[in-house]
Amino acid sequence: MRGVEDHSTLASRNSLAYADERADRTTEALSLLEKNRTDCELFLGAEDPLTSATSSRLESLSRRAERRAERQPSAKKAPRRR
| Domain boundaries, given as residue ranges, for the chain | 7-71
Q: 34-82: per-residue pLDDT in tens?
A: 999 999 999 999 999 999 999 999 999 999 999 999 998 765 555 556 5
Which residue, among 53, 20, 13, has the nearest Cα to 35 in the 3D structure?
13
Q: How many CB atoms lie within 10 A of CB 37?
A: 24
Helix (H) or strand (E) holding 42: helix 26-43
- Whole-model pTM: value is 0.82
Which strand (E) or helix (H) includes residue 67? helix 49-71
Other CB atoms within a 10 A radius of the CB of residue 69 amount to 9
Residue 73's pLDDT is 78
Q: Are 21 and 62 in contact (CB under 8 A)?
A: no
